[in-house]
């Protein structure tokens, strides 16, 4: 398959992968580290996401990743569907740095702006480095990341673990909804440190729509022009609810 041209000189080998990097230097004034300091110990935690959205064979991963974030605790917005996610995507295209809407793709930053404009989000911050991202997962809630998605990552192992080998693919926006520091995934040995992601390719993909990525691979993906957005102040959100089943699913709980 020939690469598909996107804005800004970017390309993708799969139309579902249309996240575009967009960095605003002003974002550095809003680090999550100001709220979750580096003195806070890393810890395992998962966040429930009772929604399985499916973008099909088209783009709009930014809209779907942000909609999964809205559906996850501690937000737990009810009744979100694929149409809502596509609406977030279209709104984000109006807010990103590229003029017009007659193109594929948009950015995680534009998605955050679109969700805020809809009234669901009053404040969001950024994780600059994997440790900050892990602390955000441990103490704040799920995060939305924009990362390279390589050809090796399309099909997880039976355990749900994704192999990260650079080459091919494109840019993907996806929800990270947990971190396990001592996971024992079936058939993988262990323990290992992993993050858990909810993809937007349907519930039949991976393990019930999810996959795992080793923390060291997650670090490498973030360093490869990745970004990590952390919702902080949500409107009308219930009290934070941890996913108690998460540690059992990863084999960490005793």
CATH number of domain containing 171: 3.90.70.10
* 229, 126 contact by CB (below 8 A): yes
Percent of all residues in the chain with a pLDDT value above 70, rounded to a whole number: 93
Residue 39 lies in a domain: no
DSSP assignment of the chain, as one string? Answer: -PPEE-GGG-EESSTT-BB-----GGGGGSBGGGTS-TTSPP--EEB------B-TTS--HHHHHHHHHHHSTTT---S--HHHHHHHHHHHHHHSSSSSS-SS-B-HHHHHHHHHHTTSEEEEEE--SHHHHHHHHHHT--EEEEEEE-GGGSS--TTSBPP---SS-EEEEEEEEEEEEEE--TTS-S-EEEEEEE-SB-TTSTBTTEEEEEHHHHHHHHHTT-EEEEEEEETT-----B-THHHHHTT---
pLDDT digits (tens, 9 = 90+) for 118-154: 999 999 999 999 999 999 999 999 999 999 999 999 9
The domain tally of the chain equals 1
* Angle, CA of 141, 126 and 242, to the nearest 5°: 5
Contact 179, 138 (CB under 8 A): yes
Which percentage of the chain shows pLDDT scores above 90? Answer: 79
Within a domain: 242 = yes
What is the average pLDDT score of the chain?
A: 91
Residue 197, in any domain of the structure: yes
The parent domain of residue 90 ranges over 44-249
The answer to whether residue 2 sits within a structural domain is no
CB 250 within 8 A of CB 183: yes
Contact criterion met (CB below 8 Å) for 141 and 183: no
**Arithmetic mean of pLDDT, 11-23:** 93
State the pLDDT confidence band at 239, using cuts at 50, 70 and 90.
very low
Say if 20 falls within a structural domain.
no
Q: Predicted confidence band at 163 (pLDDT cuts at 50, 70, 90)?
A: very high
Q: Which two tokens stand for residue 167?
A: 């080459």
Q: pLDDT grade, residue 238 (50/70/90)?
A: very low
At residue 35 the predicted structure's pLDDT band, cuts being 50, 70 and 90, is very high
Q: Tell whether 145 is covered by a domain.
A: yes
For residue 187, what pLDDT is reported?
94
Instruction: Specify the pTM.
Output: 0.91
Let me know if residue 21 belongs to a domain.
Answer: no
Q: Is residue 91 part of a domain?
A: yes
pLDDT of residue 246: 66
Least confident segment among 59-63, 207-211, 245-249: 245-249
């Amino acid at each position: 398959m020939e690469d598909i041209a996107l804005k800004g000189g970017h390309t993708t080998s799969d139309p579902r992968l249309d996240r575009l990097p967009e960095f605003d230097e002003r974002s550095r004034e809003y680090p999550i580290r100001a709220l979750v300091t580096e003195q806070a110990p890393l810890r395992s935690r998962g966040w429930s996401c009772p929604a399985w959205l499916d973008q099909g064979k088209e783009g709009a991963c930014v809209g779907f990743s942000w909609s999964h974030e809205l559906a996850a605790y501690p937000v737990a917005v009810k009744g979100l569907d694929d149409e809502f996610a596509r609406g977030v995507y279209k709104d984000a295209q109006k807010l990103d740095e590229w003029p017009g809407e007659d193109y594929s793709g948009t950015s995680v930053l534009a998605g955050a702006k679109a969700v805020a404009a809809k009234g669901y989000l009053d404040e969001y911050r950024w994780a600059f480095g994997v440790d900050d991202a892990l602390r955000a997962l441990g103490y704040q809630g799920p995060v939305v990341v924009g990362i390279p998605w390589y050809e090796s990552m399309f099909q997880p192992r039976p355990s749900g673990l994704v192999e990260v080998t650079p080459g091919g693919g494109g840019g993907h926006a996806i929800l990270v909804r947990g971190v396990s520091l001592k996971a024992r995934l079936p058939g993988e040995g262990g323990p290992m440190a992993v993050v858990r992601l909810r993809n937007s390719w349907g519930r039949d993909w991976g393990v019930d729509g999810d996959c795992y990525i080793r923390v060291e691979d997650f670090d490498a993906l973030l360093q490869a022009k990745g970004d990590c957005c952390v919702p902080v102040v949500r409107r009308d959100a219930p009290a934070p609810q941890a996913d108690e089943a998460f540690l059992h699913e990863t084999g960490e709980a005793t």
